[in-house]
Amino acid sequence: MTAAQQRPVTAAAPATEPMRPARYVVAGRRADTSDTVTLMLRPKEDPIEAPRPGQFTMLYVFGVGEVPVSVSGSGPGQELMQTIRAVGAVTRALCAAAPGDMIGVRGPFGTEWRLSVAEGRDLVLVTGGIGLAPLRPVVLAALAQRAKYNRVVLLVGARTPDDLLFADELETWHRRGADVQATVDRANPKWKGHVVDLVTGFIGNAVHNPAETAAFLCGPEIMIRMCSHTLVSRGVAADNIQVSLERNMRCGAALCGHCQLGPLLLCRDGPVVTYAEAAPLAVKKEL
């Protein structure tokens, strides 16, 4: 039996037919960076089941195509907050969507961040690039029940200050009890922070009590691999490290096999898995 089969299944069955998009209208649009946009999507008909932190949806631009997008939050009336970086034809079309435009939504799909394992522990969240989007609901949930956790540490990495995601919320989260540390690869005159480094360079300092630490990581694969290795070397158990893996997801319903990573179909068995599951797969170059 594989580790994926042994792990409790947390993926939600879609409330609607898994291959049929529900119609959502763009209710709001915010430009986060030069290439990243957050859309607020309001259901035009029966909404999909409410996504749990870490799950994703398949967003369909009519006449263009469909891509998987992490859910970065929710709003009134079962609205979905979805943060998209423009890297291809579909994501460029999503980023160009204006209020009133119609978007197809399927899901939710995949596994969630298991925040319960962090209760009574230090919670360390590590993000790079757009990785803060799927971890934003975890930050909000942890701060809403702050007494359940010891330290809540958020490490945020970006290429430049202009690429920091949700920059306007970081100070708010700090005031609400999170130890927020941001770093950039390259500073510019706008940068008021103290750190100019890769996020991998100072993650070890975030761990005070390894035996009582739970860590959630989301970002580029090399960042996840290096940060996880540092955490394990500091004494954090691999089972207490959760990572979000990214592969080419096409159907979202474990039918097409495009997202296969070894024994895992990441649209069903992921994207969130423990590092104990991910580590043996990460070392195999052919995967």
Domain definitions of the chain by residue range: 3-108, 115-244
Mean pLDDT check: name the lowest of 52-56, 235-239, 248-252.
Answer: 248-252
Distance CA 172, CA 36 (A): 21
Q: What pLDDT is stored for residue 195 in this prediction?
A: 66
Residue 190 burial class via C-beta count within 10 angstroms: exposed 0-12, middle 13-18, buried 19 and up:
exposed
Say if CB 83 and CB 169 are below 8 A apart. no
**Is 115-244 in the same CATH topology as 3-108?**
no
Q: What pLDDT is stored for residue 62 in this prediction?
A: 94
Q: Which CATH architecture has domain 3-108?
A: Beta Barrel (2.40)
pLDDT at 96 over 70: yes
Q: Which fold does the domain 115-244 belong to in CATH?
A: Rossmann fold (3.40.50)
Q: pTM for the full model?
A: 0.91
Q: What pLDDT is stored for residue 224 in this prediction?
A: 94
User: Please, which pLDDT band fits residue 238 given cuts at 50, 70 and 90?
Assistant: very high
Say if CB 33 and CB 53 are below 8 A apart. no
Residue type (1 letter), 221: E
The candidate with the shortest Cα–Cα distance to 115, out of 105, 128, 124, 106, is 124
